[in-house]
Structure 1
Amino acid sequence: MTTHLVWFRADLRIHDNLALAAACRDKNAVVIGLFIATPQQWEAHAMAPRQAAFLWQNLQALHAALAQRGIPLYLRETGTFDDSLPLLKAFCEEHQVDALFYNYQYELNEHRRDLNVERGLEGKVVCQGFDDSVLLPPGSVTTGSGEMYKVFTPFSNAFIRRLQEGLPECVHAPNTREGGALSEPPALTPFNYPQEKVDDALFPAGEQAALTRLRQFCQQKAAGYPDARDFPALDATSRLSACLALGVLSPRQCLHRLLAEQPGALTGGPGAVWLNELIWRDFYRHLLIAWPKLSRHKPFIGWTEKVRWQQSDNHFQAWREGKTGYPIVDAAMRQMNETGWMHNRLRMITASFLVKDLLIDWRRGERYFMTQLIDGDYAANNGGWQWAASTGTDAAPYFRIFNPTTQGEKFDAQGDFIRRWLPELRNIAGKAVHQPWAWAEKQGVKLDYPRPIVDHKAARAATLAAYEAARKTH
């Protein structure tokens, strides 16, 4: 009897799962699933306790869905990725596994882990990997000279041309295996990692909830996304990032549903801007393969390594806690600290403030975000931070520095979002909330809110000088 093992990682779904579908094609094979928890590795990678809780919820949902199809899912725990090989060897021997199926991950540690497993099982277990978490495989969208693009727009244009030639297909969920549903699947024992409660209304677990949200977004909001996406007081984004990060949803499912509801998205019509967000997601994954140094916390632009960062722990703590005295920054940070999620426009504003106003190393912010985000995704988080810090490929020029006050005035004009997350400013009506101390002085009121910890104009000048000095040194 042939036994196929599906090694689940960031692909916690049964629909459109390339590794699972491949393992199930042989109707006569016994198919089993395995998830390996690696708490020490997660800690090293700063996984947020909320994301760990969401992972556990979705593992339970996957466990039940697989059992209905006659596929047992086992959970094993070890320390780090290095420990995965001996665990897998023992598991494969115990269950007499003939072939191992898994979906690729592109971060450097994960990539090395998979290579070690392939070498370690060679001659004993056939290993098959799949490009499942992307629309198009890394290395398949290149310049005329066969190199990876360094600028997003030409990458996106080439990417869309590829999609117009032929869409990546979605694969069906597997049929129930010959033995029928499992009446007593193997029990899942919770892994040993801190968990923090997830708001089920904001982030419901399971594939069906993700697919429902995807359909509703594509029907109701995708067309208006370009006009509404930058305003955090509006519920105008998909909020699917947490599901994409853990693979509860695939990017191909997103693409096909978008085109079903907005057929002009591939040709610049309604839905095209959200499609571009999916392409950005691929772009950052493709970059990890083309430049592995990005997984080692290295900047893409070498000379930015010479920037002399400030080491102010007090400023960093004020930023983390949402107590900088800049309302839009503080509201955004408190939203993330409380919910595990932050609106994308606010991610740009808060990152810019940490790097360009406080002159604090972007890597400290990058890591803090990962400790909080329910949608923590290394490729996207690193790409976003390097964009904001002007250290990455296709990043904002180093002399582009957001003014946090005018950003707030532009994207939260009446202050609705700010007042929601900064209750100490709830009595300040309208636009005055963006400069609360000016309002307080006029009204003769004392505020329970910090004054700005830096002067933006002076901070901007200091940052420009630091970057220019680094560039000249290089």
Structure 2
Amino acid sequence: MATHLVWFRLDLRIEDNLALAAACRDPDARVMAVFIVTPRQWQQHHMAPRQHWWIEQHVRGLHQALAARQIPLHCITASDYRDGTHRLVAFCRQHRVDRLFYNYQYEVNERDRDAQLEHLLAGQVVCQGFDDSVLLAPGSITTGSGGMYKVFTPFSRACLQRLRVDVPYPVAAPGGRQGHLPQPVAPPLPFSAPSQPVDGQLFAPGEAAARERLTVFCQQRLADYPGARDYPALDGVSGLSPWLAIGALSPRQCLHQALLAQPDALSGGPGLVWVTELLWREFYRHLLVAWPDLCRHRPFIPWTDNIVWSRDQTRLKAWQSGHTGYPIVDAAMRQLNHTGWMHNRLRMISASFLVKDLLIDWRAGERYFISTLVDGDLAANNGGWQWSASTGTDAAPYFRIFNPTTQGARFDPEGVFIRRWLPELAHVPGSEVHQPWRWAQQQGVTLDYPPPIVEHKLARAATLEAYQAARQPTGEAQ
């Protein structure tokens, strides 16, 4: 009897899991599963304690779901990927594993780990990987010359054209393994990694909770998504990123539900706007494979490495804690610090402020986000920060600099979101909340809120000068 082993990584679900489905296809095979906890590696990658906790809850749920199908899930603790690889090889030999199934991860450390594992198991265990966390495999969407797209719009058009012809539908969860009664495996022990619980009212653990949230969003709010998505005071976005980040939900499930609610979602209408956001996620994953240096926090545009960044730690800490004196930035950062999540429009605003108002290296912001977010995802986080910093592929031009005051007035006009997270401004009326220092001066009152740490107009000029100076050594036109 063949023994099949499923190696779960950040694909913590039984529904629409390509590796799990493939492992269970042979009804006569014995199927086992494994998850490897690597606390030191997670620390090196600056994974947030919230995400440690979030993963642990989903591993526990996965253990129960697999046990109900007579598939034992073994949890192995290793210090890092190298140690985990050797422990997995030993596990395969101990249990006489014939075939190992797993879903690809696209970051450079993870790809190196998988290559090492395949080398160690060569001739002993057949390894089979799957492009499970994407709609279309990296390398399958290319330009006319066969290269990876550097600009999102033509990439997304090519993806949509392919998807209209061949929509990848989800695969069903496996049934029980009839005739197989494996020895029960004890539930996973608490992870030996820093842990911080997530508010269950905001994000309930489990793939069932993810599927329910997806269904409600597509049925009730998808039609309004284009007009509501940029306003953080509204419940206008899906909020599915925490589950997507750890694979408790797949992009195929998202696309399928969108098409059920909006059958024209691949060609037009409000559904297309949300599907396009899924394709941004796709774009950033494809880029990691085409340009692995992105995983090493290198800028895509070489000359931006010449920028002389500020090393002002006081300003960095003010940004991190939400005390910059710019209400929309501070409200965004306090939402992040309190919940482990931030609205996407606010991610752009707060990132732009750090880089282009404070002239602080985008990598400091990228690191802070990944160390705080429950939905931390290297591809999306790096892509978003490099877009805001004008250092990445298809990034905002370096001279595009958000004005944090006008951004706040545009996307939170009456300050509803700002007052939710900055209670010290609760008594500042209406739109005055976007420049509370000016209102306080006019009223002759003192606010328990700091004045702006920089003057935007002067900061903008200094940033433009720094970027222009960085371009000069390359000989590029000014």
Normalising TM by the smaller chain, what interval? over 0.9
Distance (whole Å) between structure 2 residues aligned to residue 78 and residue 180 of structure 1: 29
Q: In the TM superposition, what whole-angstrom CA distance separates every residue of 1:400-437 from its partner, at most 9, and x where no partner exists?
A: 00000000000000000000000110011110000011
TM-score, structure 2 length as denominator?
0.98
Report what 1:245 is aligned to.
245
Structure 1 position 270, deviation (Å): 2.4
Structure 1 position 180, deviation (Å): 6.2
Structure 1 position 76, deviation (Å): 0.6
Structure 1 position 183, deviation (Å): 8.4
Report what 1:280 is aligned to.
280
Distance (whole Å) between structure 2 residues aligned to residue 304 and residue 370 of structure 1: 22
Partner letter of residue 185 of structure 1? V
Q: How does 1:335-414 map to 2 (within 5 A)?
A: 335-414=335-414
Structure 1 position 127, deviation (Å): 0.3
Report what 1:448 is aligned to.
448
Structure 1 residues 383-392 or 169-178, which shifts more? 169-178
Q: How does 1:62-461 map to 2 (within 5 A)?
A: 62-179=62-179, 184-461=184-461
Equivalent position SS for 1:399:
coil
Q: In the TM superposition, what whole-angstrom CA distance separates every residue of 1:347-366 from its partner, at most 9, and x where no partner exists?
A: 00000000000000000000
Residues 210 and 248 in structure 2, CA contact (< 8 A), matched pair in contact too: yes
Aligned length: 474
Equivalent position SS for 1:266:
coil
Q: After TM superposition, where is structure 1 displaced by more than 6 Å over at least 4 residues in a row? A: 180-183
Partner letter of residue 311 of structure 1? R
Equivalent position SS for 1:372:
coil
Distance (whole Å) between structure 1 residues aligned to residue 253 and residue 182 of structure 2: 28
Partner letter of residue 461 of structure 2? A
TM-score, structure 1 length as denominator?
0.99
Q: Which runs of 5+ in 1 are unaligned?
A: none
Report what 2:58 is aligned to.
58
Report what 1:38 is aligned to.
38
Q: In the TM superposition, what whole-angstrom CA distance separates every residue of 1:286-326 from its partner, at most 9, and x where no partner exists?
A: 00000011011000000000000000000000000000000
Structure 1 position 184, deviation (Å): 3.7
Partner letter of residue 201 of structure 2? A
Q: In the TM superposition, what whole-angstrom CA distance separates every residue of 1:190-233 from its partner, at most 9, and x where no partner exists?
A: 11001112111111111111101000101111111110000000
Partner letter of residue 216 of structure 1? V
Distance (whole Å) between structure 1 residues aligned to residue 213 and residue 102 of structure 2: 27
Equivalent position SS for 1:216:
helix
Distance (whole Å) between structure 2 residues aligned to residue 345 and residue 130 of structure 1: 32
Residues 72 and 186 in structure 1, CA contact (< 8 A), matched pair in contact too: no
Structure 1 position 182, deviation (Å): 6.8
Equivalent position SS for 1:53:
helix
Structure 1 position 264, deviation (Å): 1.0
Structure 1 position 101, deviation (Å): 0.3
Distance (whole Å) between structure 2 residues aligned to residue 270 and residue 412 of structure 1: 22
Q: In the TM superposition, what whole-angstrom CA distance separates every residue of 1:151-198 from its partner, at most 9, and x where no partner exists?
A: 000000010000011111311111100146778433311110011121
Residues 14 and 65 in structure 1, CA contact (< 8 A), matched pair in contact too: yes
Q: In the TM superposition, what whole-angstrom CA distance separates every residue of 1:51-83 from its partner, at most 9, and x where no partner exists?
A: 111111111111100001010001011111111
Partner letter of residue 104 of structure 1? Y
Distance (whole Å) between structure 2 residues aligned to residue 314 and residue 236 of structure 1: 34
Q: In the TM superposition, what whole-angstrom CA distance separates every residue of 1:79-113 from its partner, at most 9, and x where no partner exists?
A: 11111221011111111111110000000000100
Distance (whole Å) between structure 1 residues aligned to residue 86 and residue 272 of structure 2: 46
Distance (whole Å) between structure 1 residues aligned to residue 292 and residue 251 of structure 2: 23
Q: How does 1:6-25 map to 2 (within 5 A)?
A: 6-25=6-25
Partner letter of residue 447 of structure 2? L
Distance (whole Å) between structure 2 residues aligned to residue 67 and residue 80 of structure 1: 27
Check 1:125–1:232 CA distance in 2 against 1; reply closer, same or farther (3 A cut): same
Structure 1 position 443, deviation (Å): 1.1
Distance (whole Å) between structure 2 residues aligned to residue 413 and residue 183 of structure 1: 60
Distance (whole Å) between structure 2 residues aligned to residue 234 and residue 149 of structure 1: 34
Distance (whole Å) between structure 2 residues aligned to residue 379 and residue 181 of structure 1: 40
Residues 69 and 181 in structure 1, CA contact (< 8 A), matched pair in contact too: no
Residues 4 and 31 in structure 1, CA contact (< 8 A), matched pair in contact too: yes
Q: In the TM superposition, what whole-angstrom CA distance separates every residue of 1:330-354 from its partner, at most 9, and x where no partner exists?
A: 0000000000000000000000000
Identity across the alignment (%):
64
Distance (whole Å) between structure 2 residues aligned to residue 395 and residue 236 of structure 1: 25
Distance (whole Å) between structure 2 residues aligned to residue 402 and residue 177 of structure 1: 56
Residues 229 and 237 in structure 1, CA contact (< 8 A), matched pair in contact too: yes
Structure 1 residues 172-181 or 275-284, which shifts more? 172-181
Residues 50 and 374 in structure 2, CA contact (< 8 A), matched pair in contact too: yes
Structure 1 position 444, deviation (Å): 1.1
Q: Which runs of 5+ in 2 are unaligned?
A: none
Check 1:181–1:424 CA distance in 2 against 1; reply closer, same or farther (3 A cut): farther
Distance (whole Å) between structure 2 residues aligned to residue 365 and residue 55 of structure 1: 23
Distance (whole Å) between structure 2 residues aligned to residue 146 and residue 316 of structure 1: 42
Distance (whole Å) between structure 2 residues aligned to residue 179 and residue 444 of structure 1: 80
